[in-house]
Amino acid sequence: APAPAASAAAAKHDPFPGWIIAGSSPDKYDVTKDRDVHHVGATSAKLEAIGNPGNTFVTLMQSVVADKYLGKRVRFSAFVRTSGADGWAGLWLRIDRKGGAKGPFDNMQQRPIKGTTDFKQYDVVLDVPQDSVSVNFGILLSGRGQAWFDGASLTVVPTSVPTTRGPDRAVNTAPLNLSLED
């Protein structure tokens, strides 16, 4: 009986049930519920650097079993606002495959949210291979500043919606231009 009570007490103080606070140095950031700044509903999640966190990041994330998404295209979407983001912020989506095989990944690093911005909807879209085990998604803040996260959704979309993952690097059938002269 004591263990469930302890779990219930811990969950009661968790500002975001179902979400995990993680990253390279989550202790260098505050992740809180903001009732003053929000876009959808009455609250948002606020990620805020404490002082100068250097080249570190924090993420507010979830991981779900991939079963109902296998062979489908998914879109993780949310509204994000930033203030003084001197590194960058972005949504991210990663598909983990069986046996630790690398799956599709996009963290918006090639299209980062920087500086001070108003709420805007962002999307990350990836295909979920048939051998996937989990779908992982969230928001990250790297470096100093603040980011607000609101109105998130994870939905299956038709294949007519383009993925946001950059093109895979070409895999050649044999080595090319080893002399680097071409």
What are the 10-residue block averages of pLDDT along the chain, 182 residues in total? 40 73 94 93 95 94 97 97 97 95 93 97 97 97 97 97 73 68 66
Other C-beta atoms lying within 10 Å of the C-beta of residue 56: 18
Q: What is the pLDDT of residue 168?
A: 53
pTM attached to this predicted model: 0.84
